[in-house]
Structure 1
Amino acid sequence: MRAALAALSAAALIVPFQIPASAAVPAAVPAAVPAAFSAKADIPCPKPKVAPPPNRPKPPVPPPDDPVGSAIGGDALATHGLVVPAGVKKPPAVTATTWLVADLDTGEVLGGCGPHVYQTPASVQKTLLAATVIDKLDPKQKITVTRGDLNIEPGSSAVGLVVGGKYTISTLWLGLMLNSGNDAANTLARLAGGGGADGVAKTVAAMNDTAKRIGAFQTHAVTPSGLDGQGQFTSAYDLALIARVCFGNADFRRYVLTRSAQMPAQPQLKKGGFQFQNENKLIFNYDGALGGKTGFTQLARHSYVGAAERNGRRLVVTLLGAEARPQRGYQQGASLLDWGFSLPRDESVGKLVSPEDVAPTPAPTSQPPAGQAAASATESDGPPQALSVAAAASVALVLAGTPLLLLLTQRRRRRPGRPTRGV
């Protein structure tokens, strides 16, 4: 196999490379290096002039840049800088380190800043938990909270579950989405993983499987809640893929648009009930808001996922590594949504891939005739010299047992002659 991959690389300018397991992209994925990855210098993203916060923790070292993963959805997305359609107005200045605006329905990416750059997620990772298990749990089921469910970082967000308390699954989802309850995240993950001591670990593994299935190859979960964990990363592009799955679910849409909810009393434990509010202020202050999720840890800083609808058009915004001044995360999201809605509907710099785009290529099942098999064995040292780049990439990906990312397909979708880098 190594000889075949090496021959393919030499014949079609395909280079094999390997990325760390935490990056979630299958190792040794041969593909043509995207032209946009090195053709232009990165264009700086608009930033407000604000002083960095004091005593900000040093961010974790991310996996190395991956030329193939950085071009998922289109070559123009392979940048650490700004990518917007040519000739459009400049996007607003935000403190977010990376961001992306896309159409929830068509999947067209309207613009972004370092869309595939690795970042730590904080509580927006709860959207991946929802995308993975919201269909697996009966919202009417009543469950009992265990002591292990409350094993969360001291001082981190909790909705106020109590050991021995009995709650419906729908109440847990509301506590997760409105109040960013890490206790609710642990409980939901345990239940979705079978309810045992290994339930949370099983659900985290399922979250990583979901990320791969939908094409979020730069996402690697370590905790179900988004509390920091070693090797835990995501990207603005991946969050948009995850959000697209979430907003396709009616229960999720209902939860994230709920303004307040009631935590039921636990009379057997002599605990009273109380009301809790939605922390995502977008739904209170933005015309057409569909909801979303906030996030913050000292390490990740502020993260945000939000969506809105205007004139029959639904957009999603994702941002990571932001500061709360001069604008809070949801306000930065709102300003980027305003910018996205101001663009013509046909503007695009890339595409949100679908699970079908990244599905593994099935292995051939039929046996070739004896003569053809002998010929194949004779030619095993390399493909015919006339093999196209696209065909060679496809063959190499099949040999490696990895998903075909359809980078060339994304290039063909782009309208000819339209620049996609810069302002």
Structure 2
Amino acid sequence: MRWQRTGATLAAGALLAGLSLGTAVAEPLPPTTPPPFSTPNTDSCPNKSIPPPAIDRSEVPQPGETAPRPVPVPDRTVGGERMSECGVVLPDDAPPLPADIAATGWMLADVDSGEVLAAKDPHGRYRPASTIKMLLALVALDELDLNQTVTATPEDAATEGSAVGIGAGGQYTNMQLMQGLVMASGNDAAHVLSRQLGGDEATVAKMNALAEELGAHDTRTATPSGLDGPGMSSSPFDLAVILHAAMKNPTFARLISTEHVEFPGFPKNPTIPGDEDKPAFALANDNQLLYNYEGSFGGKTGFTDDARHTYVGGAERDGHRLMVTLMGGEAQPLRPWEQAARLLDYGFALDADSVGSLENLPVDEVSGDETAALAAAPPDHAPSGTVQASGSDDTGNSLAVRAGVGVVGTGVVIGLLGWARRLGRARR
């Protein structure tokens, strides 16, 4: 301690002496300036076959399971020839893009016509995070009675990741669960819906079958909620395909545009001394575009440690509805909804031919270049010893039930499910 005090005294004395004698004193270092932002370059097609490497162990298969093969790359580019480009895809003579778009891949398209106005790495493979809840919503809307009341279990309430606030013993209509799923990205709501659809494994199979039916061939979901899991994959193009289809469902369109609803509470836990009943509460939509962009019809947010920020959303102006999908993004220099707003402004001002289409997509063309995809796949998805971070929107490890259904016999399972789904719709 003596040496520490002596050193401090000498340093202070030297400083005072320097100031009093007018000697030169070193200028303080300027604040550290972060490197200028730059959008990730995808010109070399780094994500053609598989998403970027995982940073944690969320995609490591459970003991006894094997890693799924990468989703095959279709033989023919889906959506038009220009959708095969991996960099920025713009119409001829289009003005420069807005600055500060952080997403690695994105799409700008017309909601109603399906025309693609602009894109970046449209078929690049990325993890969708909670934007894949759009598929779950469509499956649930097709199969479940929205007026039916369901009692939540302790397992529902304990679901990892983002939650709307479901409690064991609470009673919820399926419509309320859909509100919690879409408005608050509730993984707990996803678990209750999945349980009614036959469990996680069956629900994942149904979601993958629907993606195939819609022509979203870059997509394989591994969990109902969008938590990362082995083989999880989608693309900016596919998210646009899914949103394009979802907006034709009036209930879905109403759900994503709802700003506030009252959400039920749940009874006290008798095993916890002093616990009390939880009252109903106001549930707000977590999509800020809805509140801050004129004409916005809403959308869906997403985030995991591996996916980073993902986003879908759109707006209507002068009778035209445009949508944006963002994948592999960061919340800087702008938040995802603000980046979407920049692209929407660009799209509404654009007067040029389209560069692709979300309509009339091939359904059965999935045999693709699987060999190339396998060659590009890393042997391990994450370094040993790493763990999934927890906390913000949609973070956490993958669910215990993995997506083996979407892996073994994918073509047969998806084909049969898709056929059955179409047959059921025809009968209705």
Change in CA separation of 1:140 and 1:64 when aligned onto 2, cut-off 3 Å:
closer
Question: 1:176 aligns to what?
Answer: 181
- TM-score, normalised to structure 2, is 0.66
Structure 1 contact 214–354 (Cα < 8 Å) conserved: no
Matched, 1:77 2:83: yes
Matched, 1:161 2:149: no
1:135 deviates by 2.4
Structure 1: which amino acid aligns with 2:87?
G
Structure 2 contact 166–266 (Cα < 8 Å) conserved: no
Question: 1:271 aligns to what?
Answer: 278
Matched, 1:255 2:255: yes
Question: 2:137 aligns to what?
Answer: 130
SS at match of 1:135: helix
Q: Write the distance in 2 (CA, Å) between the matches of 1:117 and 1:128.
A: 19
Structure 1 contact 256–292 (Cα < 8 Å) conserved: yes
Structure 2: which amino acid aligns with 1:243?
L
Highest CA radius of gyration, 1 or 2?
2
Question: 1:234 aligns to what?
Answer: 234
Question: 1:95 aligns to what?
Answer: 102
Q: Write the distance in 1 (CA, Å) between the matches of 2:212 and 2:71.
A: 18
1:152 deviates by 2.8
1:147 deviates by 2.6
Structure 2: which amino acid aligns with 1:181?
G
Structure 2 contact 162–186 (Cα < 8 Å) conserved: yes
Aligned length in residues? 306
SS at match of 1:89: coil
Structure 1 contact 215–353 (Cα < 8 Å) conserved: no
Question: 1:185 aligns to what?
Answer: 190
Tell me whether 231-240 or 183-192 shows the greater mean CA deviation.
183-192
Change in CA separation of 1:160 and 1:84 when aligned onto 2, cut-off 3 Å:
same
Equivalent residue in structure 1 for 2:75, among 68, 76, 79 = 68
Structure 2 contact 307–328 (Cα < 8 Å) conserved: yes
Q: Write the distance in 1 (CA, Å) between the matches of 2:248 and 2:185.
A: 21
Structure 1 contact 296–302 (Cα < 8 Å) conserved: yes
Matched, 1:205 2:205: yes
SS at match of 2:347: helix
Question: 1:364 aligns to what?
Answer: none
Q: Deviations over 1:122-154 (max 9, x none)?
A: 11010111122212222211111123323533x
Question: 1:120 aligns to what?
Answer: 127
- TM-score, normalised to structure 1, is 0.67
1:187 deviates by 0.9
**Percentage identity across aligned positions?**
44
Q: Write the distance in 2 (CA, Å) between the matches of 1:50 and 1:100.
A: 18
Structure 2: which amino acid aligns with 1:311?
D
After superposition, residues 212-231 of structure 1 pair within 5 angstroms as 212-231=212-231
Q: Write the distance in 2 (CA, Å) between the matches of 1:258 and 1:63.
A: 36
Structure 1: which amino acid aligns with 2:179?
L
Q: What is the RMSD of the two structures over their aligned residues, measured on CA atoms?
A: 2.8
1:63 deviates by 3.8
SS at match of 1:307: strand
1:79 deviates by 1.8
Q: Write the distance in 2 (CA, Å) between the matches of 1:67 and 1:142.
A: 42
Q: Deviations over 1:137-183 (max 9, x none)?
A: 22211111123323533xx2101101121011111111111111000
Q: Write the distance in 1 (CA, Å) between the matches of 2:211 and 2:158.
A: 25
Unpaired runs of at least 5, structure 2: 1-35, 41-52, 60-66, 270-276, 366-410, 416-428
After superposition, residues 4-403 of structure 1 pair within 5 angstroms as 49=37, 58=55, 63=70, 66=73, 68=75, 71-93=77-99, 94-153=101-160, 156-193=161-198, 199-267=199-267, 270-344=277-351, 347-354=353-360, 357-358=362-363
Structure 1 contact 303–321 (Cα < 8 Å) conserved: yes
Structure 1 contact 67–78 (Cα < 8 Å) conserved: no
Structure 2: which amino acid aligns with 1:351?
S
Q: Write the distance in 2 (CA, Å) between the matches of 1:130 and 1:190.
A: 14
Unpaired runs of at least 5, structure 1: 1-47, 194-198, 361-399, 404-423
